[in-house]
Amino acid sequence: MTDHKNPGIEDVIKEAQSYIHDKDSLALISRAANYASECHAGQFRRSGEPYVTHVINVAYILATLRVGPATICAGFLHDVLEDCGVSREELAADFTDEIAGLVEAVTKIGTLEYKGKDDPEYQAANHRKIFIAMARDVRVILIKLVDRLHNMRTLQYQSENAQKRIASETLDVYAPIAHRLGISAIKNELEDLSFYYLNREEYYRIAILVEAKKTERDAAVNSMISEISDMLRENEIPFRIFGRSKHLYSIYKKMVNKGKRFEEILDLLAIRIITNTDLSCYEILGYIHAKYKPIPGRLKDYIAVPKTNMYQSLHTTIIGHDGKIFEVQIRTEDMDAIAERGVAAHWRYKEGSKYDARAEQKEIEDKLAWFKNFAVYSEDEAGNTSASEYMATLQRDVFEANVYVMTPMGRVIDLPNGATPIDFAYRIHTDVGHTAVGAIVNDAMVPLNTQLHTGDVVQIKTMKNTGPSEDWLKFVKTNQARNKIRNYLMKKEAEAHETRVSEGEKILAEEMRKRGFDPKDYMDKKKIENILKDFRVSNYTDLMYGIAVKSISPMSVTSHLTNQKSRMSEDEALGHLLNREVQKRTSKSGLVIPGIESMKMSLSHCCMPVYGDPIKGYITKGAGVKVHRADCVNISRVKSRLIDVQWDDGDPDRLYDSDLIVMAHDRSFLLTDIVTVVSQCRVTMESVSASVNHDTLTSTIKLTVRVHDVNHLQNVLANIRKIESVFTAERASH
Ligand code: MN
């Protein structure tokens, strides 16, 4: 690792003067520097150095990135709100609102950082803050990245625990952001520093391997450089050429990811050629391929198709005359600046133009395709997903994206591995996703679940008035698509529910009119609330829904509402409730004890026997005989007071309650499907309730049904088990 000398305030000013000439801007920068010195006077870092060295370093690195004056000032001032008790208002009054805003945003990210390190939800919340701040103003994250870079450079003064924690956060969160923004100079340094603190053994092992053959490699690279230089001079093409070394972490990652030994890594001998125009790049490539044998499949044209972080260059791998393998990168000066400094290079400070944060942000979104998705996503989801869900989406949809496909207009869209045309469609626009009916990939019509590959040109066929299918959830890869599809289906289901509710209202009103009542007199919510209990529902909409799906009899509701209840027997009311013809029960319980007559018997509520179940009686004290299923756990230990009981020949109209438990993967219309199947089996449903475990996406549905006998019950269970996504359906015992 390189040692960095601490710059002074004058070094920052000098650096700024090299590209900022406006006197007022330079004066503002000096003032910010002095203000920070005063504020932090008497404060020290763990290294023992005055605190102000940290903020000077941050401002200095920002100036080398050629950022605007406001950003440099914010670099100097980035810790005064937190550490010096200055308020945002004071800062805005002393400087500008813009600067105070930047400092405040950086501070907000910072304040959470060192707390709750072991709580994943807390970490995620913290990271989400960083991303949302970035989505609003990219300068904030630039300052934050540089702040982190300097803290990483001075990490040796922290405790070992803090080193590991900060290093892994840097590797997981900050380095990927730097990469995504194309700031490879910062990304590489952050990676190597993290690598050092997280895995010192491997760090040194690779450093030693690199060092060992360095002289040999340098010699090979130098002789190749002079050969190429001669050739290009002969052909009068302007160029700059130099060897470059890979950073240690990228070598380590290649070895781990591709399972390669150090010696097998091809691009250790690397050369970069910088020229003046795009055309010269291709010309140089032509000359090089004419002279040296290229390795097939290694030519990459990132000039024609830039990477999503704006990176542009030609890459090729060639075999030198002595059999050594070289990686060659060819690009223009502008491309090189973007390759090193990314966003920072593209939006380097332009003298005389006023910084317009909105316009800049929009330009970034236009250039960095992913940034727009990300900004939109961050706005959308900021309030309504959990932090860890938000982070998972970002991780998957933004950071792990590595399939690059194109729209017919040539716009590059990055997607995660295994992504399908549906993922692509939702990336283009929510409406394109919702109305997608077909996909054309490279001029051929393909199924919507086809896996896309880098380079595919994808076009989506849409049709108005269609909607996403539930099946899509089985194959989409991006969380973005999954969330949009789910939301759509949930909304649809809610709408269907609403339709059912108004259907129920209509049916009930009709029933009342038929019986000579004016619905206006009875159908107000107050009156209806009074009878909810009678139908075992908890609210108005459930009652109306029940009427619409025929689990509640409109006739019975009418009777209750119009106070005719008293004239009906319990059995009649029950009959209405079941929406069947009124049944006359036999006076007998349906059970007999061999040899004994007239004994009070009832079915136990714990195992709920139904006609045909093997049964046992238990003689209670004073409540007659309770009849259990023979295998009921509640009587399995009981030795005395048991008595044989039998079903009598029975009344074919008698019905038995049975509680069921159904487990299923949660999906839309699950309940509707269960209700439909139950009613198709000619079984009455008494009640139904569902709960969802959001971690496992498993739904548990409890229902009470009324059946004639055990065969009838087994038939319902068998049919419920056939419903898609249901994995178990069993009788419950309590
Ligand atoms: Mn700081």
d(CA 703, CA 731): 10
Distance CA 597, CA 592 (A): 7
* pLDDT tens sequence across 259-281: 888 877 766 789 999 999 999 99
pLDDT at 455: 76
145 Cα: distance to centroid of ligand 1 (angstroms) = 10
Q: How far are the Cα atoms of 68, 496, 500, 548, 685 from residue 505, in angstroms, in the given order?
A: 65, 14, 9, 8, 20
Please give the distance, rounded to the nearest whole angstrom, from the Cα atom of residue 182 to the centre of ligand 1: 22
The total of other beta-carbon atoms located within 10 Å of residue 584's CB is 13
pLDDT band at 636 (very low <50, low <70, confident <90, very high): confident
359 CA to centre of ligand 1 in angstroms? 27
C-alpha 36 – ligand 1 centre gap (Å) = 12
- Check whether 350 has a pLDDT greater than 60: yes
Q: In which band, very low, low, confident or very high, does the pLDDT at 119 lie, cut at 50, 70 and 90?
A: low
What are the two backbone dihedrals, phi and then psi, of residue 341, each rounded to the nearest 5 degrees?
A: -120, 0
User: Among 44-53, 248-257, 464-473, 579-588, where is mean pLDDT lowest?
Assistant: 579-588
For residue 623, pLDDT over 80 is answered with no
Question: How far apart are the CA of 107 and the centre of ligand 1, in A?
Answer: 9
Distance 127 CA to ligand 1 centre (A): 17
Please check the confidence at residue 335 and state whether its pLDDT lies above 80: yes
Instruction: Name the pLDDT band for 601 (thresholds 50, 70, 90).
Output: confident
| pLDDT band per the 50, 70, 90 thresholds, residue 566 | very low
Out of 82, 283, 360, 493, pick the active-site residue.
82
Average pLDDT score over residue span 246-263 = 85
pLDDT at residue 3 is higher than 80: no
Alpha-carbon distance of 503 to 583, in angstroms, equals 27
Residue 83 vs residue 649, higher pLDDT: 83
pLDDT at 1: 58
What's the pLDDT score for residue 565?
A: 44
Strand partners, 667: none
∠ Cα 82 86 91 (to 5°):
110
Work out the pLDDT band at 63, boundaries 50, 70, 90.
very high
- Measured distance CA(327)–CA(8) in Å, rounded: 39
Q: Looking at residue 585, what is its pLDDT?
A: 35
- Mean pLDDT in residue range 572-589: 42
CA–centroid distance, residue 189 to ligand 1 (Å): 17
Please give the average per-residue pLDDT across 90-102, as a whole number. Answer: 92
Higher-confidence position of 632 and 226: 226
Residue 685 alpha carbon to ligand 1 centre in Å: 64
* pLDDT over 80 at 456, yes or no: yes
Considering the chain, what is the average pLDDT of its residues? Answer: 83
How high is the pLDDT of residue 495? 87
Whether 631 is catalytic is no
Residue 76 CA, ligand 1 centroid: distance in Å: 9
Span from the CA of 106 to the centroid of ligand 1 (angstroms): 9
* Closest C-alpha among 258, 319, 265 to residue 292: 319
The alpha carbon of 54 and the centre of ligand 1 are apart by a number of angstroms equal to 7
Band of the pLDDT at 372, cuts 50, 70, 90?
A: low
- Distance from the CA of 81 to the center of ligand 1, in angstroms? 11
Rank 163-167, 189-193, 362-366, 724-728 by mean pLDDT and report only the highest. Answer: 189-193
pLDDT at 38 over 80: yes
Write the pLDDT tens digit of every residue in 401-440. 667 788 888 777 878 888 999 999 998 999 999 999 999 9
* Residue type present at position 689: S
CA 715 – ligand 1 centroid, Å: 69
Q: Is the pLDDT of residue 318 over 60?
A: yes
Q: What is the mean pLDDT of residues 522-527?
A: 82
Query: pLDDT-based confidence at 331, cuts 50/70/90?
Result: very high
Judged against a pLDDT cut of 80, whether residue 571 lies above it is answered with no
Which of 473 and 550 is assigned the larger pLDDT? 473
Q: Which of 324-333, 428-437, 543-552, 631-640 has the lowest mean pLDDT?
A: 631-640
Instruction: Return the pLDDT at 574.
Output: 43
**What is the average pLDDT across 379-385?**
58
Residue 569: band (very low, low, confident or very high) from pLDDT cuts 50, 70, 90:
very low
Q: Is the pTM of this model over 0.75?
A: no
Output the CA 50–ligand 1 centroid distance in Å.
13
79 a catalytic residue? no
Residue 341 has pLDDT above 80, yes or no: yes
User: Which of residues 361 and 330 earns the better pLDDT score?
Assistant: 330
* Gap from CA of 717 to ligand 1 centroid (Å): 64
- pLDDT band at residue 587 under the 50/70/90 scheme: very low
CA-based R_g, the chain, Å: 37
Confidence of residue 205 (pLDDT cuts 50, 70, 90): very high
Enumerate long-range contacts of 486-495, CB under 8 Å, 24 or more apart. Answer: 488/434, 489/668, 490/668, 492/467, 492/668, 493/668, 493/669, 493/672
pLDDT at 369: 62
**Over the stretch 502-518, which tens digit does the pLDDT of each residue have?**
999 999 999 888 888 88
Sign of CA dihedral 330, 333, 334, 340: positive
151-182 pLDDT, tens per residue?
999 999 999 988 998 898 888 888 888 888 88
CB atoms within 10 A of CB 316: 19
Confidence of residue 618 (pLDDT cuts 50, 70, 90): confident
Annotated active-site residue in 22, 49, 83, 510: 83
Between residues 317 and 1, which one has the greater pLDDT?
317
Q: Ligand 1 center to residue 138 CA distance, Å?
A: 17
Q: Tokens 């001075």 appear where?
A: 154
Ligand 1 centroid to 155 CA: how many Å?
13
**Nearest in space to 56 (alpha carbons), one of 134, 121, 4, 97:** 4
